[in-house]
Chain A
Amino acid sequence: MPNDVTPQEAREQLAAAEAATDRRAGDRRVHALATAGFGLVIGAYLAVSRLVEDTSAETLVVVCYVLLLLGLAGWQTREARTWPRRARRTSYVGLGVTVVLFLGAVIAFNVVDAQQEVPLLVLAGLVVAAPMLVAAALIERGERGERR
């Protein structure tokens, strides 16, 4: 009965509750790595797809892009048995901003009829990947933040 709880029992239950919140480091790492991976793959695709545009390698790049995304998603789903608190929301926000930047870059590349040199494309890819890299860092750091 709840009414029978002694201070000692209450302390034991609080200790058990505390211990239960401290076991998800591995899953945080999986989600952080997957989030960073998605960002880098999307950013790399933006750059590489411009370089191979109108060449025979274009289809191969698209196939590799899709396979990498599916592979990452499959690995993430198999490896992680939980979504640590706030990790999913953080990952989705990062993905949303990355997608917006990706679309913005594609539009900019199509509108601006400028020479697209490799350094510019690499920079654009990194900018597109950045929100997901930040999200990955926040997911990873959440582990330590929650322990404080």
Chain B
Amino acid sequence: MRSPHARHRLDDVIHAPVRFSIVATLASVDEAEFALVRDEVEVSDSVLSKQVSILEQAGYVKVRKGYVGKRPRTWLSLTRSGSSAYSGHLAALREIAGA
């Protein structure tokens, strides 16, 4: 029996372009500031907030709030489940790219 095509293993949550960029940025770090992710992904605060909420609901991203001095800061990180989903997504992309 043939195994299903790699496209079926692409993660629907991560596949959206902005969310893919967010997850790709977070994949190389333990934690990143919200503002840095916003700048790297080149989106507005509100767009990033919305996309992060979707990733958070999927259990892929963890949001931590704190302060640096008196300034409030938000940090984002990939959860273990998010990291695993991203690895699976990349593996599927590699398979498609090599097809």
Give a binary string over A1-13; 1 marks a CB under 8 Å from any B CB, 0 the rest: 0110111001101
User: What size tier do the contact residues of chain A reach?
Assistant: 20 to 34
Total B residues in contact with A, Cβ cutoff 8 Å: 29
Known: A7-B96, A10-B94, A81-B35. A23 touches B40 (CB 8 A): yes
Per-position contact with B for A86-123: 1 when CB-CB < 8 Å, else 0?
Answer: 11110000000000000000000000000000000000
Q: Closest residue to B20 on the A side, CB-wise?
A: A13
Please, which residues of chain B bring their CB within 8 A of the CB of A5?
7, 10, 15, 93, 96
Question: Which of A6, A21, A74, A89 meets B27, CB within 8 Å?
Answer: A21
In the complex, are the beta carbons of B29 and A83 less than 8 A apart? yes
Chain B residues proximal to chain A, CB less than 8 Å: 7-8, 10-12, 15, 20-21, 24-25, 27-33, 35-36, 40, 68-69, 90, 93-94, 96-99
